[in-house]
Copies of this chain bind each other. A is one copy, B any other.
Amino acid sequence: MAEHLEKPLTVADLGERGTLARILPLLPSASGMTVGPGDDSAVVGLHAPEVVTTCDMMVEGPDFRRDWSHPEDIGYKAMTSNLADISAMGARPLGVIIGLAAPPDSPVADLVGIARGVAKGLSDMAPEAGVLGGDLSTAPQLTLSVTVLGQLFGLHPVLRSGARPGDVVAVTGEPGVSERGFRILNEHTTQAGGVLDPSVLAELRSQPEVLHHLAPRIDLDHGPAAAAAHATAMMDVSDGLVLDATRLAEASDVAIDFDGDAVVDDAWLMGGEDHGLLATFPPEVTLPEGFHPVGVVRDFEPSADAVGTGEVSTGGVSIDGVATPRVTVSGVAPDIERGGWDPYRDSVNTRVSP
């Protein structure tokens, strides 16, 4: 017990330089990197004069909670959510740039854990990619901001806007698994009065849904394979299938009808953070490995009632019977509570109650 009472070594004890000295050796290099972390900027060689880039932040509280996520999970999931956005263009990741702000009293072991999660995520999902640089800063909440660079290797980027009526709608993985893991964690946390005990967490982690929620592993070959198979539109499912399909349908000015037989439950429709792909393919295409059909693209035909009556709701779902939904299930607007997650409206109160 005595060693638990000892104060752990903090980032304030080691300072920026000392903390970096513990972290940098854990991080893999990118294969094309000619100047690495430690100078003002990194320099990376590319296959062609074109770069793909995306960014995603993760903040303690709205995006993760420490009684659920190990530091390794935080680093791993930060890789997944960002790498998925590169794959969703049909590109392959080249490297990541990581901004990390932590409270001065953070144990160095936590930052080392995050670095190990980053390294594991890259080695599992993008072994050719590495860490190109970053910034260590201080904030009252642990905050990660990850930018990924990728390259297309001669493929055309697959946008959200290319879906055409008649296209097949397909997804990778099983939508809703992360949401199911979230619900399991949430239920046990509520039962425990608001904070999950480490021993309960350890037990829950044996359930694949829980692990997928905390540290989802995805296959980054799917995006380039879809691009090579002439996918007409693609995105990763981060905010729930109905909300993300609505975004794709709006960008393409089409409607999407999911096959009722494909819909497993409401988690399938509205659960976010799976980071699988949603793509549309011309009907004559053989779907690439990993994709399975879940619906069709149709013409968008606003009903006479709906024309000019204003904005479609965030979820693209008809809440009040006025707007025409962009997304239906066997022709009918899905009956779900909400169409996805908005960081400003849903975060602290509905998503995470520490």
Contact = CB atoms under 8 A, between A and B. Distances in A.
Interface string A319-354: 000000000000000000000001111011000000
B348 A104 contact: yes
Interface string A151-190: 0100001011100000000000000000000000000000
Interface in A11-50: 11-12, 14-17, 19, 34-35, 38-50
Contacts of A234: 40
Interface stretch (A93-101, A192-200, A208-216): A93-101
B160 A314 contact: no
Among A34, A49, A343, A348, chain B packs the most CB atoms within 10 A around the CB of A343
A294 interface: no
A59 B48 CA distance: 35
A112 interface: no
A137 B53 CA distance: 18
A89 B88 CA distance: 32
A138 B314 contact: no
Among A48, A59, A61, A136, chain B packs the most CB atoms within 10 A around the CB of A59
A216 B27 CA distance: 33
A165 to B, nearest CB: 21
Given A16-B343, A39-B160, A59-B137, A49 B49 contact: yes
Contact size range, A: 35 or more
Interface stretch (A67-75, A142-150, A264-272): A142-150
A314 to B, nearest CB: 7
Contact of A145 (B50, B99, B133, B160): B99
A11 B344 CA distance: 6
B55 A133 contact: yes
Given A56-B135, A138-B343, A86 B41 contact: yes
A201 interface: no
A53 B46 CA distance: 13
- A-B pairs, top 5 by smallest CB distance, nearest first, are A145-B145, A41-B54, A99-B145, A147-B147, A40-B88
